[in-house]
Chain A
Amino acid sequence: MYQTPVRRKRKVIKNPYLPELVTITKIIDETPNIKSYQVIFNDPERMKNFSFQPGQVGQLSVFGVGESTFVINSPPTRMEYLQFSVMKAGEVTSAIHELYVGDQIGLRAPLGNWFPYEMMKGKKILFIGGGIGLAPLRTLILFMLDNRDDYGDITIIYGARTPPDLCYKKDLKEWESRSDIELILTVDNEYPGWDKRIGFVPTVLNEVAPSPDNTVAITCGPPIMIKFVLEGLAKLKFQDDHIITTLERRMKCGIGICGRCNIGTKYVCKDGPVFSLAQLKELPPE
């Protein structure tokens, strides 16, 4: 018979719903509707002890408005601050866009799982991103650049609607100038002054047609882009377990309890957000 687990050994448990206070140290305008926020913990000790893995997320709180989930897009190899990029879309993100340097917000982090970077060692890496979907990829790209010798060639295919909608322009410029990264940029339509590729990301992927040999593909972007990128990668004969994506769902608790972000038995907030295509195929179609 099932015994209620209330008589377990008691230990002091941290309240997973209670955010820690952080202060905004820098705000970067990425695109007309995306801003990046660099934050540090108010408690300097916590800043020193804090650790996370590339791909893990955090819940940012604007007290009085609510919480939303964002990936920590600065890498764990650069711990002077934690960076989050916020696209103005709903109530919480609008409230975050109203904030200034020096303002305090709440943070619950790290939550969720992370990119299987151990498995990627010694392999070629193909990043495919769209719009703000570059945020989680940025963490891993910077992490790999900081451990450059562990990984093979890095190719990045990144697109947005228009050139001003491309995120992390400073990073893009740097990556473009590096000889150990191939950066392919695209925008949806022609645009004055744009001399690079034109077309949707999945189309560009087909054109570039990267080889699946010893290569891991990591993709993130709007759901419709991910759908066609996954199809494109399958056509290019990438193995299901070498295709990694990060999913987005509405999340509240962040610890796999509140029930809204599940796909079958898996909770995106806790069991994800990083899944391989092989793992996704085991879940009920949704």
Chain B
Amino acid sequence: MAEIGFIPKDRLRDFLETVNKTIPVYVPCCEGDVVLFRRYAVDNVLCLDRPAHTPPKTIIFPQSECLFTFRFEKDPHDPKKTTIQLAEPEEPSEAIIFAARPCDAKGFTIYDRVYIDTDMPDPYYKKRREKTTIVTMVCPSPSPGCFCTAVGGSPANREGADVMMTELENGYVLESLTEKGKALLLYQYVEDGQAFREAAEAKQLEVKNLVHAPFQKEGVYNISKTIFNSDEFWETEIDKCISCGACTYLCPTCYCFNITDEHAITRGERLRNWDACMFFHFTLEASGHNPRPTKYQRFKNRVGHKFLYYPEKYDGVIACCGCGRCIRHCPVSVDIREIVAHLQSSTSDVSNTSEKEKKGD
């Protein structure tokens, strides 16, 4: 069963300091007006009262990472011959993500099905995921644009977390959910938290009701395929989109990437970089043919992937964690909640396809 620890508020920095000495700890920090996950340091300003602007996905899935390096070597005996040496990067080190939001942690579970739970797992993601301990903090208050409850989450959701942290008046209650989580509770400054179990549970219940679901209707989630496949719908709906890609880069569940080579003279590396389905070049082929040449087709694919394709593949799970970042940070105020609501608004003229029906056929 879960073990429960408690860290008094005035001991939190001591705790982080201690852990950070052995394992890098990433915490949400204020940098001007922006909250970002940074490696813990004595002088950074912790910010636990609102969600970070960027999700912590970069700690497990870096924006740019080396897949392998290559080196060309000339044959000393035959100058015409060149051989190539490939080398994989070093193993990633352990890490702790501290005070992620439940939606952020859920984002990793969306990755897991694609990156780990497959016949050809992604070794880079898998290793980092296994070596990272995620401490999620029960969301004290929802932010504008939050809609986790509409996509199967909640401000106290435990999916993807190793430790669940609940803030009380005088300190933080830490509940370990996995072996990795248990190990974290063994550090100095974590006191026994049994006495606070009830208070934490009450708090978790309380916050669950704070986020209202903008589109789940009576727990049923239906998307009209007729509307979804209508070009007109998408053309009108995202007319204002400027294909900047901010929604994808800030999304805890967006996992698309590109692979490119960088090299100079005799050595170089193959890199994996975040990419985004919002970009024209994402699907552009060398021949000039592009299967998704317009922004509405690209947006349709993004929404389709999260709310139709992914659920169809993975038992109805929606590939969106409802963090609301794409809504808060969209420069032209595209709101995915509205789009999904519109996709299921008309019920009379369409053959609604719930995930259960789909599986049946």
Contact = CB atoms under 8 A, between A and B. Distances in A.
B82 A104 contact: yes
Interface residues of B, number: 66
A64 B67 CA distance: 13
A90 interface: yes
A116 interface: no
26 contacts: A2-B317, A4-B178, A5-B112, A6-B112, A6-B126, A13-B126, A17-B270, A21-B84, A64-B70, A64-B263, A64-B268, A66-B259, A89-B286, A104-B82, A104-B84, A250-B283, A252-B257, A257-B118, A258-B275, A259-B255, A259-B257, A260-B256, A260-B275, A262-B301, A264-B309, A286-B292
Interface in A52-85: 61, 63-68
Given A6-B112, A19-B86, A257-B118, 11 more contacts: A5-B117, A7-B178, A7-B179, A255-B120, A256-B114, A257-B115, A258-B256, A259-B255, A259-B256, A260-B283, A262-B301
A93 B263 CA distance: 18
B325 interface: no
Interface string A1-38: 11011111000010111110100000000000000000
Interface centre among B122, B275, B297, B305 (most CB of A within 10 A): B122
Interface in B112-142: 112-118, 120-124, 126, 129-130
A63 B259 contact: no
Contacts of B256: 258-260
A193 interface: no
A196 interface: no
Q: Which 8 A-B pairs rank lowest in CB-CB distance, beginning with the nearest?
A: A90-B286, A259-B256, A64-B263, A89-B286, A63-B70, A265-B309, A255-B120, A16-B120
Interface in B77-123: 80-84, 86, 88, 108-109, 112-118, 120-123
Given A17-B67, A284-B229, A4 B112 contact: yes
B109 A260 contact: no
Given A2-B317, A13-B123, A18 B259 contact: no
Contacts of A262: 301, 305, 309
A122 interface: no
Nearest to A92: B286
B259 A258 contact: yes
Contact of B261 (A2, A65, A264, A285): A65
Contacts of B70: 63-64
B289 to A, nearest CB: 6
A260 B282 contact: yes
B116 A5 contact: yes
Interface of A: 1-2, 4-8, 13, 15-19, 21, 61, 63-68, 89-93, 102-104, 106, 222-223, 248-250, 252-253, 255-265, 284-286
Main secondary structure of the interface of B (DSSP, over half): mixed
B290 to A, nearest CB: 8
Nearest to B124: A17
B156 interface: no
B158 interface: yes
B185 to A, nearest CB: 18
B240 interface: no
A184 to B, nearest CB: 25
B291 interface: yes
B122 A265 contact: no
Nearest to B179: A7
Contacts of B292: 286
A15 B259 contact: no
A90 B284 CA distance: 11
Interface of B: 67-68, 70, 72, 80-84, 86, 88, 108-109, 112-118, 120-124, 126, 129-130, 158-160, 178-179, 228-229, 255-261, 263, 268, 270, 272, 275, 277, 282-287, 289, 291-292, 297, 301, 304-305, 308-309, 312-313, 317
B287 A89 contact: yes
Given A1-B158, A64-B70, A258 B258 contact: yes
Contacts of A249: 283, 285, 291
B323 to A, nearest CB: 17
A179 B283 CA distance: 43
Nearest to A268: B291
Contacts of A65: 261
Given A6-B112, A17-B67, A258-B256, A286 B297 contact: yes
A63 B313 contact: no
A201 B257 CA distance: 37
B285 A63 contact: no
A91 B86 CA distance: 22
A63 B289 contact: no
A61 B270 CA distance: 10
Interface centre among A19, A66, A260 (most CB of B within 10 A): A260
Nearest to A224: B289
Given A66-B261, A260-B256, A262-B301, A15 B123 contact: yes
Nearest to A19: B86
Contacts of A258: 256-259, 275
A17 B67 CA distance: 7
A102 B268 contact: no
A265 B285 contact: no
Contact of A286 (B112, B118, B291): B291
A255 B159 CA distance: 26
B112 to A, nearest CB: 6
